[in-house]
Structure 1
Amino acid sequence: MCIFGNMARNSLSARFEQSVTLDALRSYIAEFLSTFFYVFAVLGSMMSSRKLMPDAASDPSSLVVVAVANAFALASAVFIAANISGGHVNPAVTFGMAVGGHISVPTALFYWISQLLASVIACLVLRVTIVEQHVPTYTIAEEMTGFGASILEGVLTFGLVYTIYAAGDPRRGPLGAMGPLAIGFIAGANVLATGPFSGGSMNPACAFASSVIAGSFKNQAVYWVGPLMGAAVAGLLYDNVVFPTQSVDPVRGVSEGVGV
């Protein structure tokens, strides 16, 4: 038992050391900057639509504005960080990658810190500079329950993370800038589909930061439980069922699909 305990501690120590290297620090900075730009653009677009359209809540064009901003901002944020941190820009994406074994748990925790801090600062900048408006928070429609909204957010995040896996898979061939564009498109489409019902967050950091600035955490669990579960299922399904990882046969020296 002592031997296994020492091995576990050594493994954890090694993973933590890998999470505090200079390259890892660059990844955290990249996640911070990308998440800041994304949250600033998305919540800023909500505030802009309220400024231009006093009855933005019932004006369909305001939904289009937010969806387009979401698509453009996410595609750009992913593109600028993809080669450094992977361009997660979302705690749910990071969680899905950690569950799938693509990043270590200590690294995922540092990603979360960077993403949450960037989101809060982005919301704070909006609150301080645009004094006439409050930073909008994500809310669920009156006709929906918290459970239903959580399922909805989980399905949205499943689609987003599944697209991220597909767009970043080198086995599909080089996608270049098309990968981030595909990710942005699915995010924008999700907002168009569910914006009036749950807000189409798909991003716990975005929902959390706006709630911190507003001082209200009502239904906050909806924007964590659903997206985290959806992201985990998407990653596991893609890696293990739909497009399983290739393994090398040590005898024949050829690649074989796992589970195929």
Structure 2
Amino acid sequence: MMNEDFPTLVSSAIQKLQQKSSRDSLGNFRINPFDYNESNPLYHDECNNKKEETLLDYLRVGFGEFGSVFVIVFLSCMGCTAGLSEETASALQKCITGGLSVMAAIQIFGHISGAHANPSVTLSAYLMNVIDAKKAVLYVVCQIFGGLTGYAVLLYLTPKVYIQSPTHCVTSPNPNISLQQAFLVEVVITFILCIAINAAWDERCMKQLDSFSLRIGLIVTACALAAGPYTGASMNPARSLAPAMWQKNYESLQIYIFGPLLGGALSGLFYRHILLEKD
């Protein structure tokens, strides 16, 4: 009897390990809940055993998103500060600093909240059913405050003579392109960024997540190098909002709010309905 039950016990243990690996820190599906077949007993078992969310869980992931955008805004805007070492910060320096700051944020906070660090990514995650509406709102609010705090700390640490310009770290389109063109550039590059992140939520990609922070950082760098001359390559409403609010420079801000959000929404819908393999 014991020998006959051994394969069943092993199979059950493997199933439970698979279930654990598919849940995030709040007990939700880490990957595509809509890809599960309700007739599969694993689906019901995972739903029935979902971890109860506590206030500490929400505080933890909220801090993860706050910290992620803090790191991105603080480091990337510090990289835009000229005068301390050179008269101007080069475009290459800005692009590399931006990409590496994203890499740092994901490396530090990725296991805490997923380090969306971007309202566009959070919107894409919501449309992919990776997180629910309540957590999506929490993420976005914490991201915005993280960006505002990151820029405030930079203002405090930097002599005013080097940072008092109303355009410091404020994303703005190239005057040689139209606002419509700038808007579409932000849509496209944010779509590219988010579709790469969407792939990480796909079960088929679970074995290819080594050096994930480096990969996303390099994608951000590539988009910044390519699209920087067009729009500054924000791809992140929280990153653009913080310096705009502190510098009271809201010119063209709508491009950097709605363009990336549309790109994130399109990527989530496209991946869910077109690229995702369903049973």
The two structures have a TM-score, normalised by structure 1, of 0.80
Which AA in structure 2 matches 1:181? L
Q: 1: distance between equivalents of 2:85 and 2:186? A: 28
Partner residue in 1 for 2:141: 113
Deviation at 1:101, TM superposition (A): 2.1
Q: Report if aligned partners of 1:165, 1:235 keep a CA contact under 8 Å in 2.
A: yes
Partner residue in 1 for 2:206: 173
Q: Report if aligned partners of 1:96, 1:234 keep a CA contact under 8 Å in 2.
A: yes
Q: Report if aligned partners of 1:98, 1:105 keep a CA contact under 8 Å in 2.
A: yes
Partner residue in 1 for 2:36: none
Q: 2: distance between equivalents of 1:173 and 1:164? A: 12
Q: Report if aligned partners of 2:186, 2:256 keep a CA contact under 8 Å in 1.
A: yes
Which AA in structure 2 matches 1:186? I
Partner residue in 1 for 2:262: 229
Deviation at 1:173, TM superposition (A): 3.3
Partner residue in 2 for 1:142: 175
Partner residue in 2 for 1:78: 106
Deviation at 1:55, TM superposition (A): 4.4
Partner residue in 2 for 1:14: none
CA offsets 1:156-213 (integer angstroms, 9 cap, x no match):
1001101111234342232344222111111000110111221011110010000011
- 1:97 equivalenced with 2:125 (yes/no): yes
Which one of the candidate residues 221, 232, 235 is aligned to 1:202? 235
Q: Which sections of structure 1, spanning at least 5 residues, go unmatched?
A: 1-17, 57-61, 247-255
Would the alpha carbon gap of residues 20 and 147 (structure 1) be closer, same or farther in structure 2, given more than 3 Å must change? farther
Partner residue in 2 for 1:7: none
Which one of the candidate residues 129, 133, 150 is aligned to 2:162? 133
Q: Which sections of structure 2, spanning at least 5 residues, go unmatched?
A: 1-51
Partner residue in 2 for 1:45: 79
Q: Report if aligned partners of 2:65, 2:116 keep a CA contact under 8 Å in 1.
A: yes
CA offsets 1:72-110 (integer angstroms, 9 cap, x no match):
111121122222211100111111111222212221111
- 1:123 equivalenced with 2:172 (yes/no): no
Q: 1: distance between equivalents of 2:130 and 2:56? A: 19
Describe the SS at the equivalent of 1:142. coil
Which one of the candidate residues 199, 202, 212 is aligned to 2:245? 212
Q: 2: distance between equivalents of 1:153 and 1:100? A: 21
Q: Report if aligned partners of 2:72, 2:105 keep a CA contact under 8 Å in 1.
A: yes
Partner residue in 2 for 1:164: 197
Q: Identity over the aligned pairs, expressed in percent?
A: 29
Partner residue in 2 for 1:15: none
Q: 2: distance between equivalents of 1:146 and 1:128? A: 33
The two structures have a TM-score, normalised by structure 2, of 0.75
Task: Choose 189-198 or 18-27, whichever is displaced more.
Answer: 18-27
Would the alpha carbon gap of residues 181 and 167 (structure 1) be closer, same or farther in structure 2, given more than 3 Å must change? farther
Describe the SS at the equivalent of 2:80. helix
The alignment of Structure 1 onto Structure 2 pairs a total of residues equal to 223
Q: Report if aligned partners of 1:95, 1:108 keep a CA contact under 8 Å in 2.
A: yes
Q: Report if aligned partners of 2:200, 2:206 keep a CA contact under 8 Å in 1.
A: no
The structure number with the bigger radius of gyration is 2
